[in-house]
Amino acid sequence: MDNLIVRTTALAMSVTLSYIRKGDTVVDATCGSGHDTLTLAQAVGEEGQVLAFDIQEQAIEQTEARLRSRGISNVRLLLDSFVSMTSCLPENSASAVVFNLGYLPGGDHGITTLAEITLEGMDAALRTIRPGGVVTFVLYDGHENGAEEKRQLLTRAEELDSSRYHAAYVSMLNQKRHPPEILWITKKRG
């Protein structure tokens, strides 16, 4: 069993998976090299589907190769911004939307998620998840854009209507090397 407090990304995914059932529709907003996409595709099973976005061809290709090597075919890969998720899926349809922010590891560090666009992504994701679903953000504040992005996302999350949404935030308090942090938002059932 993973030591989940030490491994932030595993903690983020572990909680996310508790919201997902076989047959569900889920979104990987930033597929990168496809680790999360693969986990999500396995969680929803062949009867479910994953929509996976990235703005970089390199990321889409890496994800495609990872999925192909595992024989996974229930993923729609989209070379597009996550903001477009609302034109691909109806409102209240996904059980989870996952954002792993920042830049593609091993890729161009200049191509990164940006606060203003990620806020639009948050709005899109909150419309797309169904009641009882979850939006997960893995945040990196060790670089300049990331710190500003985190500040704006947390401010927006604090302002969300508490009768409709429940937001939770996890920070690793005594770690010196800026490990990622997690923001989860769930849409309450009517």
Ligand X SMILES: C[S@@+](CC[C@H](N)C(=O)[O-])C[C@H]1O[C@@H](n2cnc3c(N)ncnc32)[C@H](O)[C@@H]1O
Does 184 bind ligand X (CB under 6 A)? Our answer is: no
Contact residue for ligand X among 59, 96, 97, 153 (CB under 6 A) = 59
Q: Which residues contact 25 (CB under 8 A, 6 or more apart)?
A: 44, 48, 49, 50, 51, 89, 93, 94, 95
Reading phi first (left if > 0) and then psi (alpha if -120 to 50, else beta), residue 157 is in alpha
Q: Which residue has the tokens 């589907």?
A: 49
SS3 of 51, please? Answer: strand
Is position 51 an interface residue for ligand X (rule: CB under 6 A)? no
74 touches 44 (CB < 8 A): yes
Task: Point out which span in 30-38, 43-51, 89-97, 153-161 binds ligand X (CB under 6 A).
Answer: 30-38
Closest distance between ligand X and the C-beta of residue 163, in Å?
30
Helix runs in the chain, H state only: 8-17, 35-44, 57-69, 85-88, 115-128, 144-159
The amino acid at residue 112 is T
Binding flag, residue 125, ligand X (CB under 6 A)? no
Q: Which is nearer to ligand X, 50 or 129 (CB)?
A: 50
Considering CB under 6 A, how many residues would be counted as binding ligand X? 22
102 binds ligand X (CB under 6 A): yes
Stretch that binds ligand X, among 23-31, 86-94, 143-151, 164-172 (CB under 6 A): 23-31
List residues near ligand X by CB under 6 A: 29-36, 53-56, 59, 81-82, 100, 102-104, 111, 113, 117
